[in-house]
Amino acid sequence: MLQSVWKSWIEEEARRECVLCGNGLHSLLVQMQNKGSDEVETLKTKFLSVWHNVKYSWALKSKTSFSRNSPVFLLGKCYHFKAEDDGGVTETCFEASDEDFVMGNAEAFRRDFASRVWLTYRVELPSLPSSTLTSDCGWGCMLRAGQMMLAQALILHFLGRDWTWSEAMTLQPLDTETWTTTAAKRLVASLEASLQGSPRPSDDGSPPMHQAQAPGCAEEADAHLKEMYHRTLVSWFGDSPSAQLGLHSLVRMGLTMGKQAGDWYGPAVVAHILKKAIEEAMDPGLAGITAYVSQDCTVYSADLIDSHRAPRAGQTSAERSDAPPSPHSDQPTSASTLSDSRAVIILIPVRLGGEKTNPDYFNFAKSILSLEYCIGIIGGKPKQACYFVGFQDDSLIYMDPHYCQSFVDVSTSDFPLQSYHCPSPKKMPFSKMDPSCTIGFYSRSAQDYERISQELSKVLQPSAREKYPAFTIVQGHGRDYDLSAGVTPEKREWPFIRDPRRTVTTAGDFVLL
């Protein structure tokens, strides 16, 4: 009975969305009938993977409209699309396949956006920890959004905000027909291999530090060095068990917090997972950076400054001095490269309203995304996460992880980078944003944090419309405020971490009082 249901369903999907692969799917169903009942669950997972791949391989070719009369902000940088002599036209459609147009600095915006690291759904992965799943399609979008925000922090740390990828303008638009047909064929082949017992791709070795060739001059040396950092940074997010900040690592961290592969991850949960992942990363290149997560929407300055200064557990000053220095030569050596300091990624889970986002917070979100040390906001629509990187007028600009791509082996020295960069931005009205989100900042040193805290304090000043700040910054340590007084383990909710030995579930990331 179950097999006949699966057969009719998959044949209908084959006729509607990937007719060219119908014969291959029919062949798989014949093989399925010869399998024992003990493999039904495994095959169900495979067919679910087919469905997700077809669903998320559709790259909608809708154009994103940008006004030429309003500035566009992207992670602290401001761009104007209107040229000085541009007259009556007030709106333009942005698409990577359009011919390069010179209107203000629109091309600079395209280059900047396409240089951000894009992490999306992937298929054909090694099995995820404590699971038989080989894809995060349909459930891993918040983890991917968190990875993108973390990648932006590492770009600031190693390359600086002015860095752009040399090949950013060569990215091709996402082609719906080509991607869908190819994806369907690829998964038919994957299903056949699994039914025949073929091994899945795996990567047991750590991603290498991708070496640049010997440069011929100082300018080439700088370009090669930056490309080396770029490739190594992307490799840390590879989809293999050994990748320092990859999906497998994040899922493994989530297990200690009561989350399984296939579960929905909220933005506050992901903030704590990112913190744990960066703290436990063993790569020497990540020794000079750590993460801090605010407590109950409050940043305790003394705790954060301690994070800047304190070495990791069991780590000596000599070990921390092995962290690679910032490669951009036009800036002074940062405090994070010194033996007595490290950079801090500041993650602040907040809630911008009740069931819906309060529109009074939009000016606050604009102010945050206008800061160069802001690394973005992870949130999205209800149950559909995305990574917010900028805004124009009353719309947020975001990067969408809901796109299914195939596994890339980042252990090779020349793995392709194109699938880790997005050619087209998307926009969403602020009113559609889910109120639960996590805001991120990058602080290079304790001195840098002093400046950041002063600027943020001005942004957080209550106004006539915003009676309550999204978060607060206070002096002292969290322990000075005795946060745990009167709070029993049974009453602890996010953003407090639960005891992993408890199996009590919660309805969301926050409890509204």
DSSP secondary structure string for all residues of 59-104? ---PPEEEESSS-EEETTEEE----TT--S--EEEE-TTSPP--ST
pTM: 0.76
Domain boundaries in the chain? 59-78+103-177+219-310+341-479
Give the pair of three-digit tokens for residue 433.
């944003």
DSSP 300-349: EHHHHHHHHHPPPTT--HHHHTTSPPP--TTSPPPGGGSTT--EEEEEEE
The DSSP element (H or E) to which 385 belongs, if any, is: strand 384-392
Q: Which residues are catalytic?
A: 141, 400, 402
Q: What was the pLDDT predicted at 222? A: 83
Alpha-carbon gap, residue 119 to 232, rounded angstroms:
15
Cβ–Cβ < 8 Å for 397, 390:
yes
Alpha-carbon gap, residue 257 to 271, rounded angstroms:
12
Largest CA distance in the chain: 72
Give the pair of three-digit tokens for residue 4.
């006949």
Q: What was the pLDDT predicted at 461? A: 83
**pLDDT 10s digits, 3-35:** 454 445 444 544 444 433 434 444 444 455 555
Torsional class of 296: left (φ above 0), alpha (ψ -120 to 50), beta (otherwise): left
Provide φ and ψ at 169, rounded to 5°. Answer: -80, 0
Cβ–Cβ < 8 Å for 267, 378:
yes
Alpha-carbon gap, residue 139 to 214, rounded angstroms:
43
Q: What was the pLDDT predicted at 167? A: 92
Q: What was the pLDDT predicted at 180? A: 44
Amino acid at 151: A
Q: What was the pLDDT predicted at 413? A: 86
Query: What are the Cα distances from residue 343, in Å, to 235, 237, 283, 446?
Result: 20, 19, 16, 8
**pLDDT 10s digits, 319-369:** 443 344 444 333 333 334 444 689 999 999 999 998 899 998 999 999 999
Count of Cβ atoms closer than 10 Å to residue 330 Cβ:
7
With 0-12 CB in 10 A as exposed, 13-18 as middle and 19+ as buried, what is 432? middle
Cβ–Cβ < 8 Å for 151, 237:
yes
Q: What was the pLDDT predicted at 448? A: 95
Torsional class of 497: left (φ above 0), alpha (ψ -120 to 50), beta (otherwise): beta
pLDDT below 50 — which residues of the chain?
2-3, 5-7, 9-11, 13-30, 59-60, 89, 95-103, 176-182, 198-208, 211-215, 316-339, 486-513
Alpha-carbon gap, residue 325 to 343, rounded angstroms:
12
